Structure 1
Amino acid sequence: MSEYILSQIRPSDRRASKQMDALLQQEGIERDKNLDYSVGLFDEDYNLAATGSCFSNTLRCLAVSSDHQGEGLLNQVLSHLMEYQYSRGNTSLFLYTKCGTAKFFGDLGFYEIARVEGKVVFMENRRTGFADYLKKLQTETSQSSAAKAVSLLANPRTGAVVMNANPFTLGHRWLVEYAASKVDLLHVFIVSEDVSLVPLSVREQLVREGTADLGNLVYHQTGPYMISNATFPSYFLKDKDTVIRSHARLDIQVFQKIAGALNISQRFVGEEPFSQVTGIYNQVMKEELEAAGISCTIIPRREDADGPISASGVRELLRDGNWDDLQKKVPESTFRYFSSEKAAPVLQKIREANEVRHY
């Protein structure tokens, strides 16, 4: 058996990066744009035989050359990536793979969370990870004053909204207020992935403060189980439409299990007039949820004189220091935060961003 050298593939290493792209392409994979660490196994002539990468707490872009199948190379790459993840404090690991390779990763200690048949499987390295998350949601609910207030109802109507709130605007407030008026108990899920210009701790604070007067809300973080468009792995799916629809279907598979644990019968979603991607996502979500017996209501965006209120528009106002217009588009609590000294690091990050309309 040949001897192989394990080496990090840095973006500056053009030869290795080119080999990585070629190997991934050979296996029907495109290099994911979200990678923060990549490695390769090279033979004695420095030809790439196997590769794998990480992004945050996920493992991505795993591939072995067809010339080196059956040599256990992917096991070596995966073991190294897991050790690397552990070394930087990521002990809960996730990966996405084709349905045909899910069993291979299952044999290496990964457990299935959800799948879209023929497209993608979402897996984690903890056997009870998702079950523990569902228990956490149930505990948060049972301990909330809002849930206790409706516990005496025979069949309480329970709904959910999921939002990034980057940052929390009057548009988000309108969505939560409308949804809360239609149910007895509303679960508000805040996207946990910290890939936004406004960090999770601030986003959650602003959501809570901006809806504090509504008495029937329970707040949760999505954890790693509801994934955003920014980090959904599209590298082994053939086209953009397939990526969007597969992401939506996978997300809904996960949400259905959450809905079952919390007795959620309705989901409320804000209309997306600016993004074709989110528009398709919402359409698929509505079809999938209603097929599963969960009502899905798409609510028109709140508008003002400038048109629909959007978080990206608010980030532009923050970047430009347009405080007069900002005050018209966000709750008082959001405006108060961004006017305070605490917001200085976040404002600096927004001002330095190349593009504030991204996640």
Structure 2
Amino acid sequence: MSEYHLSRIFYNDRREMKKLDALLAQEGIERDANLHYTIGLYDDDYHLAATGSCFANTLRCMAVDSSHQGEGLLNQIVSHLIQYEFEQNITSLFLYTKYDKALFFRDLGFYEIARADGKVVFMENRRNGFSSYLENLKKETAVQLEALSPAGNLPVGAVVMNANPFTLGHLHLLATAAAACSLLHVFVVSEDASLVPFDVRFRLVKEGSSHLKNLVFHQTGSYLISNATFPSYFLKEKDVVIRTHAKLDTAIFGRISQTLGITVRYVGEEPSSQVTGIYNEIMEADLPASGVACRIIPRKTAGPEIISASTVRERIHSGDTESIRGLVPETTLNYFLSDEAADVVEKIRQSDEVRHY
């Protein structure tokens, strides 16, 4: 059996990245676009025998050369990544794995949250992590209810949004849903991978909808999954990636809905985004199994144009921030015209990708 040594792989090291990509490809994995730390285990001849990576609080892109399997190398990789994350003060860890690897990660102290379609299992390193999140949602609801005016004998609903940034289209969705519900739970995606930071997005959603008196606001934490944290590296077809992601998200939301008594989820109609269109299709088909109806609301328009966050970002990107007037609530407009937003505006203008597909 070889002796192995552990070494960090830097993304500007072309030689080592070539080895990394070759190992991943050999094991049927494509390197994920979202990585911030990668390590390798090398044998005596400096061949890359195993690798693993982190992105935010997720472990990903873990692989062992088939000629070195059965030597406990993946255990070493995972143990090192966990230690690295802990040293960064990241103690709540998540991973996605194929069905046939779930038992291995369970033996390393990870617990299943949800699974989808015979392809992917979503796991975390805290036994009571998700149940604690659900309990916190109930507490948040109880606190916010004291200042609300729930509307009559109507169902309890929910909306999940990224709001990057909050537009009149988002507001239309919230107002339509709120009018049909006694209470509306609003989940804002809290993973910070958007051009507009989470704290700003969350604030603008609350400020822009403050006239609606039956809304309860929540962060999604790491449970309602974003595109950035969901790994596509072991699912080759884009359509399969999107569908598996949506099915996991729907399974998790089913448990959230049971905790909060939610019986209807509202989503915006999506004529142009492939990702959101497939999401809507999956939710409409799968949510009823959890006792939740899916209502698709037609998108709000400004003249012939559908209002979208992508359009708002494109206009800011072009340098014409003033032109978003009519597409966003006054609170969102005021933010982008303020000095506070200078760094965010510059980030949008420098971005190569401002449209969501």
**Matched residue type, 1:308:** I
Query: For 2:351, which of 346, 350, 353 is the aligned residue?
Result: 353
Name the count of aligned residue pairs. Answer: 357
Distance across 1 between alignment mates of 2:14 and 2:145: 57
Distance across 2 between alignment mates of 1:21 and 1:324: 45
| Equivalent residue number for residue 47 of structure 2 | 47
State the 1:4 CA deviation: 0.5
Alpha-carbon contact 2:335-2:341 (below 8 Å) kept? yes
The normalised TM-score by structure 2 is 0.96
Query: Deviation per CA, 1:125-149, whole angstroms, max 9, x where unpaired?
Result: 1111101100110000011136864
Asked if 1:233 corresponds to 2:238, the answer is no
State the 1:230 CA deviation: 3.1
Alpha-carbon contact 1:194-1:200 (below 8 Å) kept? yes
Identity score, percent:
61
1:149-228 aligned at under 5 Å gives the runs 149-150=149-150, 156-228=154-226
Name the SS of the counterpart of 2:178 in structure 1: helix
Name the SS of the counterpart of 1:186 in structure 2: strand
**Please, which runs of 5 or more residues in structure 2 have no aligned partner?**
none
Distance across 1 between alignment mates of 2:264 and 2:46: 55
State the 1:32 CA deviation: 0.8
1:302-321 aligned at under 5 Å gives the runs 302-321=300-319
1:132-151 aligned at under 5 Å gives the runs 132-145=132-145, 149-150=149-150
Distance across 2 between alignment mates of 1:206 and 1:36: 29
Alpha-carbon contact 2:154-2:180 (below 8 Å) kept? no
Query: Deviation per CA, 1:226-267, whole angstroms, max 9, x where unpaired?
Result: 112233111111311111110010001100010010010000
| Equivalent residue number for residue 77 of structure 2 | 77
Comparing 98-107 and 3-12, the one that deviates more: 3-12
Alpha-carbon contact 2:192-2:198 (below 8 Å) kept? yes
Query: Deviation per CA, 1:93-150, whole angstroms, max 9, x where unpaired?
Result: 0000001000000000000000014200000011111011001100000111368644
Name the SS of the counterpart of 1:198 in structure 2: coil
Comparing 189-198 and 22-31, the one that deviates more: 22-31
Distance across 1 between alignment mates of 2:320 and 2:120: 44
Comparing 273-282 and 36-45, the one that deviates more: 273-282
The normalised TM-score by structure 1 is 0.96
Distance across 1 between alignment mates of 2:232 and 2:268: 24
Alpha-carbon contact 1:188-1:217 (below 8 Å) kept? yes
| Equivalent residue number for residue 267 of structure 1 | 265
State the 1:27 CA deviation: 1.7
State the 1:213 CA deviation: 0.4
Asked if 1:341 corresponds to 2:319, the answer is no
Query: Deviation per CA, 1:24-66, whole angstroms, max 9, x where unpaired?
Result: 1222211111111111100011101111001111000111111
Distance across 1 between alignment mates of 2:291 and 2:130: 22
State the 1:293 CA deviation: 2.4
Alpha-carbon contact 2:157-2:263 (below 8 Å) kept? yes
| Equivalent residue number for residue 102 of structure 1 | 102
Distance across 1 between alignment mates of 2:343 and 2:115: 39
| Equivalent residue number for residue 6 of structure 1 | 6
Distance 1:62 1:143, change over 3 A: same
Distance 1:146 1:273, change over 3 A: farther
State the 1:316 CA deviation: 1.6
| Equivalent residue number for residue 126 of structure 1 | 126
**Matched residue type, 1:310:** S
**Matched residue type, 1:37:** Y
Name the SS of the counterpart of 2:224 in structure 1: coil
Name the SS of the counterpart of 2:164 in structure 1: coil
Name the SS of the counterpart of 2:29 in structure 1: coil
Distance across 2 between alignment mates of 1:116 and 1:184: 32
Query: For 1:258, which of 238, 242, 256 is the aligned residue?
Result: 256
Alpha-carbon contact 1:147-1:216 (below 8 Å) kept? no
**Matched residue type, 2:291:** G
Distance across 2 between alignment mates of 1:130 and 1:19: 37
State the 1:323 CA deviation: 4.0
Distance across 1 between alignment mates of 2:21 and 2:31: 6
Aligned-residue CA RMSD in angstroms? 1.6
**Matched residue type, 1:69:** Q
Distance across 2 between alignment mates of 1:209 and 1:27: 48
Distance 1:32 1:51, change over 3 A: same
